[in-house]
Structure 1
Amino acid sequence: MTQVPSKARLGYLYALGSAVTSGLIPVFSKLLLVNVKPLTISALVFLVGGLILIPYRPKELPGRRSVGWMVATGLLGAALAPALYLYGVNQTSAINAALLTNAEVFFTAVLAFLVFKERLKRKQLLESILVVAGIVVVSTDLDFSSVQLLHGLTGNLLVLGSGIVWALDNNLSRITSQRFGPIFVSKFRNIFGGGLLLGFLVATSASLTVPASVLPLLLLYTADIALATLTFTAALVRIGAVRALLVFSTTSIFGSLFAVAGLGETITLIQVSGGALILLGVYLIHKSEGV
């Protein structure tokens, strides 16, 4: 039997690690938004997350042509997308946010196919249907009457917009990380994006107040996002945007578990079944790498 290449295996592990850490993000976001403004959270979290990586030095520094790509990842992935997401989460229901956030998988795949010319095996395309089906089941509990897409329309559009922006960032990050490494790309992106948001807040005299009581949570949130970003970028380099996002989609499972434990929300048997579909699809995609 043909073995899955070690590079691909490591890529899948990175993507799964990113899914676990990203599953905590909705829980942390809801808790922080009670006391802190969305833009303040985005600015501080990404800036600090980038500064933590300052000691890292790449073997090759970006040239003039590459700087533009790096700036684009910072603007999209660490400034615009997180700001849209947090404002959206703050203005819509949790079930709508969960459903619309998963659209990032679809948008990343579309961009990878149409713009960046990435391809999957035909068998993997069929297997990905299981993942998408599982995402829908977990997100909606098959109770479409409760998915009130017209309720909080502004928030829904903002969350959907963040998915489109992050999808573009996912593909750009894969390209830049192949040359400069995921750690350097994450550092540059987070410092640039977080710094840009902080500069905007200062220039507009916006509030940067963070209650002392939530500082530990903010630091934990920062570390979680930094780790999620780093592991996902590493996965992009090793297995490509489409496969990385398919594995990353398991974050809906972890997010549900964390919501039950941290926010006291409930999970149904139907949602558990959807989680099983996602895991089965990811397993089959992984297995077919060796075919």
Structure 2
Amino acid sequence: MKTHKGSSAVLAALAAAALFGASTPLAKQFVGDMSALLLAGLLYLGSGVGLLALRVLRDHGWHSPGLARREWPWLLTAIGCGGVVGPTLLMLGLASTSAAAASLLLNLEGVLTALLAWFVFKENANRRVVLGMALIVAGGLLLSWPGPAVGTNHGGAGAALIVGACLCWALDNNLTRQVSNSDALFIAGLKGIVAALVNIGLALALGQSLPPWRVVGPVLLIGFVGYGISLALFVLALRGLGAARTGAYFGAAPFVGAGIAIGVFGESTSPLFWGAGLLMAAGLWLHLTERHEHPHWHGTLQHSHPHFPDIHHRHDHS
């Protein structure tokens, strides 16, 4: 028997949330320079290339990720949901929704992640987490109401697209949980490369062209940090917390994004926006103050990946 406090996993989840939260208002600044497909593709290109390059440097060359054959369907399905469909829906939603409101709506990703984890993948839950989820959903309903709460007259449609993106990422999170014991950099990097190839390929096939480097460069950097590093940290958090609780801690991301959108880019808000924010903040507080510390029984652990002297493998084995 062994008790796990998971403090390092919590820190990884919160760091992932901060980086991804910042990427939403930053990415919105480039929505007018290219299509949603192309923007999503470039963000993931920065993520994939950057993470795989880091992995090569870390391991002093290329090594097999060691994924078992049964794990590949989980990973590839996760890539399709979270790396291709989700980002495209988000970029389309950003075109008609303020970055601040879109950032808060991303709280619904954690709710949907937890619901799938509880009812489909049979993770445990408690009343405190459920109440927090209910408050976040209530805030999301306020933000999804058509009108000035989301910053435009088309906010309802934009909000629906962002909720769709959240559902895609919720599926992605739960599917990735099934392979989270494998190399985090490889998983996140492969997601980025595949998503980039699909989205950029579709954009070019539709006759769109790449913007100048002065636009492409910053987008790639945002993708590397806000999508790539964030996703690698998220995978690390999944190992110690599970999909439901990692999604709950990741709920801090929207508040980082909203703060940047309002404080840095000066976006306007409304009473409904602040009401939604308070509801969601209360829900997040319930999640962050939940005590998840109880005995776990572990049988023999089998690892299908090779061991290298890197940060990923500095953990105890029962």
**Normalised TM-score (structure 2):** 0.76
Q: Percent identity?
A: 25
Give yes or no for contact 1:23–1:254 (8 Å, CA) kept in 2: yes
SS of match in other structure, 2:154? coil
Alpha-carbon distance between aligned partners in 2 of 1:276 and 1:48, rounded to the nearest angstrom: 31
User: Counterpart of 2:309?
Assistant: none
Comparing 183-192 with 144-153, which one deviates more in the overlay? 144-153
Q: What number of residue pairs does the alignment pair up?
A: 282
Alpha-carbon distance between aligned partners in 1 of 2:184 and 2:42, rounded to the nearest angstrom: 21
Report deviation, 1:60.
4.4
Give yes or no for contact 1:111–1:168 (8 Å, CA) kept in 2: yes
SS of match in other structure, 1:250? helix
* Unaligned residue ranges in structure 2 (runs of 5+): 56-61, 296-318
Give yes or no for contact 1:47–1:194 (8 Å, CA) kept in 2: yes
Asked whether 1:109 is paired with 2:114, we answer yes
Higher helix share: 1
Report deviation, 1:226.
0.9
Alpha-carbon distance between aligned partners in 2 of 1:24 and 1:139, rounded to the nearest angstrom: 23
Report deviation, 1:245.
1.1
User: Counterpart of 1:163?
Assistant: 166
Task: Indicate how the Cα distance of structure 1 residues 98 and 84 shifts in structure 2: closer, same or farther if over 3 A, else same.
Answer: same
Report deviation, 1:155.
2.4
Alpha-carbon distance between aligned partners in 1 of 2:69 and 2:187, rounded to the nearest angstrom: 15
**Normalised TM-score (structure 1):** 0.82
Of the three residues 181, 184, 188, the one matched with 1:182 is 184
Alpha-carbon distance between aligned partners in 1 of 2:172 and 2:163, rounded to the nearest angstrom: 14
User: Counterpart of 2:249?
Assistant: 247
Task: Indicate how the Cα distance of structure 1 residues 231 and 147 shifts in structure 2: closer, same or farther if over 3 A, else same.
Answer: same
Task: Indicate how the Cα distance of structure 1 residues 39 and 144 shifts in structure 2: closer, same or farther if over 3 A, else same.
Answer: closer
User: Counterpart of 1:13?
Assistant: 11
Task: Indicate how the Cα distance of structure 1 residues 78 and 150 shifts in structure 2: closer, same or farther if over 3 A, else same.
Answer: same
Report deviation, 1:50.
1.0
Report deviation, 1:135.
7.3
Of the three residues 25, 28, 37, the one matched with 2:35 is 37
Alpha-carbon distance between aligned partners in 1 of 2:103 and 2:39, rounded to the nearest angstrom: 19
Report deviation, 1:216.
4.1
Of the three residues 24, 27, 30, the one matched with 1:26 is 24
Give yes or no for contact 2:112–2:167 (8 Å, CA) kept in 1: yes
Report deviation, 1:118.
0.8
SS of match in other structure, 1:54? helix
Alpha-carbon distance between aligned partners in 1 of 2:188 and 2:94, rounded to the nearest angstrom: 24
RMSD: 3.2
Task: Indicate how the Cα distance of structure 1 residues 272 and 168 shifts in structure 2: closer, same or farther if over 3 A, else same.
Answer: closer
Report deviation, 1:15.
0.9
User: Counterpart of 1:89?
Assistant: 94
Of the three residues 225, 228, 231, the one matched with 2:227 is 225
Task: Indicate how the Cα distance of structure 1 residues 199 and 109 shifts in structure 2: closer, same or farther if over 3 A, else same.
Answer: same
**Counterpart code for 1:289:** E
Give yes or no for contact 2:42–2:196 (8 Å, CA) kept in 1: yes
Q: Deviations over 1:157-178 (max 9, x none)?
A: 2212111111100001111122
Give yes or no for contact 1:32–1:217 (8 Å, CA) kept in 2: no
**Counterpart code for 1:34:** G
